[in-house]
């Protein structure tokens, strides 16, 4: 429930935040504008980062615009965003509470980091499962029809992971999982 907050202090009379949100929802701001901006920003950021066409930002903007508009052609993207982001907010609140509790307990930092990583992965899995509408009792019906795709995707993920580790390992040294820090770490933050 949204608590109405009067906006008279800002020169807006006769309104509240829930009325403002209702008006934004009625013009399609949450259904089209925000998903468009999220997809545009992500695609533009990825294209700018990988420099597929060199330092050609107008081309990246055109491609990002096209991808964003095509993604909103059907209601699937808007529906997905309206399902996943509220659950993500709840998951982040749970992780924040866990950080506070672990901070109060003053547990060893290495153990704390590993525990929070596992806890975050479990919450991510729950968010994704609930967002896609897969309940535990539906997996029994879904798995017999889609087990082959599940196995193929799992094998591809493992092969890509091992291929990345082996290809980034210097010659003459055994592959270690410390290479993952180099792959996912950014030099700007070190």
Supply φ then ψ for residue 15, to 5 degrees.
Answer: -135, 165
Whether 120 and 168 have beta carbons less than 8 Å apart is answered as: no
- From first to last of the 190 residues of the chain, give the pLDDT tens digit: 444 555 555 555 656 888 888 888 888 888 889 999 999 999 999 999 988 888 889 999 999 999 999 988 888 888 888 888 888 888 888 888 877 777 776 665 665 666 677 777 777 777 777 766 655 556 666 667 777 877 888 888 888 877 776 666 666 666 555 545 555 554 444 4
Q: What is the DSSP string of 20-82?
A: HHHHHHHTTIIIIIHHHHHHHHHHHHHHHHHTBTBS-HHHHHHHHHHHHHHHTSSTHHHHHHH
């Amino acid at each position: 429930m949204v608590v109405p907050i009067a906006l008279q202090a800002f020169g807006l009379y006769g309104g509240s935040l829930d009325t403002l949100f209702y008006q934004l929802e009625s013009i399609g701001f949450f259904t089209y504008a925000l998903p468009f901006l999220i997809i545009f920003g992500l695609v533009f950021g990825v294209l700018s980062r990988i420099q597929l066409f060199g330092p050609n930002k107008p081309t990246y903007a055109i491609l990002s615009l096209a991808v964003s508009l095509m993604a909103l052609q059907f209601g699937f993207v808007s529906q997905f965003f309206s399902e996943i982001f509220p659950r993500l907010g709840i998951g982040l609140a749970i992780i924040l509470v866990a950080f506070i509790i672990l901070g109060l307990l003053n547990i060893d930092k290495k153990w704390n980091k590993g525990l929070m990583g596992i806890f975050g992965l479990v919450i991510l899995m729950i968010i994704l499962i609930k967002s896609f509408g897969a309940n535990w009792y539906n997996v029994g019906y879904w798995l017999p029809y889609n087990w082959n795709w599940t196995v193929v995707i799992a094998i591809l993920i493992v092969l890509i992971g091992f291929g990345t580790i082996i290809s980034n390992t210097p010659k003459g040294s055994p592959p270690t999982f410390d290479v993952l820090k180099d792959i996912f770490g950014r030099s700007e933050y070190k």
